[in-house]
Structure 1
Amino acid sequence: VMEVAGVLDKPLSASTIAFSIAPRLNAAGRLGSAATAVELLLTNDESRARELALLLDTENKERQQTERQIFDEALELIAKDPNFEKKKVIVLAQENWHQGVIGIVASRLCDMYYKPCILISHTNGVGKGSGRSIKGFNLFDALTHCEKQLIDFGGHAVAAGLNVNMSDIDSFIKEINKYADEVLTEQDMIPTVDIDCPLSERSVTLENAKLLSKLEPFGMNNEKPVFALAHTQVMNIAPVGADNKHLRLRIVKNNQTINCIGFGMGEFAEFIHQGDTVNIAFQMDINHYQGNETVQLILKDIKRK
């Protein structure tokens, strides 16, 4: 799998697993049967393993295509809703959306709009939904409040699933937004970045990035540290990747040049320009390229001064 994913020359870190290996293993189960991934993990035949890894890679590309299609359709539904801005919870329903992917799209929309989001795929009058939430809005509690409108539900504070009769969907949307109006303040709807500590540019080193990697694996209850660097100057900035979705940034402070990447932050290139002075929030990472290691900052936010 690492060979097919193009990360064979990179350390087997939590990030490598989360962003390169796990999506391919998960793709089979999301689109159909997880048997392909299970066989790959169990086989001792190297040739068969490569064949299965290529098959999973193809299925992962299909998953990405399906995800993009649902995401675009969700954006169209949002654009057609004249009351969208007034609603604190996004609830979107469409016939025959793929069940294995709607949770991923809900997460993307949740991040994009910073609102709790539930996507529902319905067939023959019954909808199956997957939801993601923001800090301060316990999704399970919200669904419990709306249980009269639901067939059943389950999950936890930030992610949940549900079944609903489509004849009850309008009342469900009304009830969960009524609950959100009571629970969420306007301040809760403003996304924040929690910064662990400010740094000077002298602390942004490959050595420190390697020391931080010893704290892995990062995740729930062991979040990757977020730092801040103030009053840096933009040397270069450009959107990169498919659809200019991501951002590549090079900054300089006291003659020290630092490379940064901002995933999903391509739109920042529209209003931040070369020569601007900015503050950045970031995670420190290691970039592996052609056998070389350099420190790289994973951007979480940028503010122009």
Structure 2
Amino acid sequence: MTVNDPLPDEVNDAFPVWLARANGVSRVRLRGKDLESPFYGVRLRGDAVAPVVQTDDPYEYQRRLRVARARQYAPRLHTGHFYSHQTAASVWGGPLPLSFTPAGQTAGAADLELHVSAFGHLPFPRTAGVTGHRTLQRLTELDEHDGLRVSSPAATWASLGTLPLFDLIALGDYFCRRWRAGYGRPDVGREPLATVDGLREMVEAGRRRGAARLRQALAAIREDSWSPRESRVRCILVAAGIPEPDLNVDIFDAYGRFLGCVDMVYRAQRVAIEYLGMLHGEQWAQDVERMAALRAAGWTVIEVTSLLLKRPEELVARVRAALSS
């Protein structure tokens, strides 16, 4: 078999080397330029590799890169192995802190380690680009999501006790979000991925790295936070001694007209806090009009940008001033 010979029908677009060899594919053919080797023992047909869709949000882009790497490794995934830790969190769509290279640059695909766990005494994977873990049955739950075998949301969260506290809270907020009824809200009644009680059960199932931090985070998780940046704003305010705001509240004017759903609200003081992400075009215009309508109805609106979030003392001062005026 030469490097240009067609591959047998028994191998898919992504396949383990052992399967190809068992179907007569030579080592020479496996070194063909039309095949990629993202991990030892795995080959991908080059024309079937879809590029990861770029996005302006670096957090979301890294999440997509992790999921793409998991799909590339999947042909090699042992039946007793499963994706865990940061990889599982990304498969579930959860927010994670940005990862950086030792040089301080935002990590790319090759820099983002896959996390693969094995039960009991089963050998865990030892290959470049993969961090292996060993766990016990009582410390995790298995699930399947989007075609990948992963730890459950609750087990995933409980495995990440080394994350900073704010990031643990944001991930817990994401997993426990309740999809409540409201003006124009999506997916009303959809079941949350996890519950606070479920997270607590996994934390208490046995010894955990970062157990004290996990328990501290449990007390701060809320079911109505819609984004990790909202979670961070809330935590900054509470840590500074400011009362906790109500989250994602539908606001109406004196005539019953809907003005908007506000990220954080102090009803008695009529103070609204809105986190402004990377806005473009129509979304930016809608948010400008929504905040103008709130101000016209007598609300004080504090707009939080990514730059203000990096200056927590100033954020706290603005909110404290608004609440005391």
TM-score bucket (shorter structure):
under 0.3
The answer to which structure has the higher helix fraction is 1
CA radius of gyration, larger in: 2
Which structure's residues are more often strand, by fraction?
1
What TM-score results when the alignment is normalised by the length of structure 1?
0.24
Instruction: Normalising by structure 2, report the TM-score.
Output: 0.23
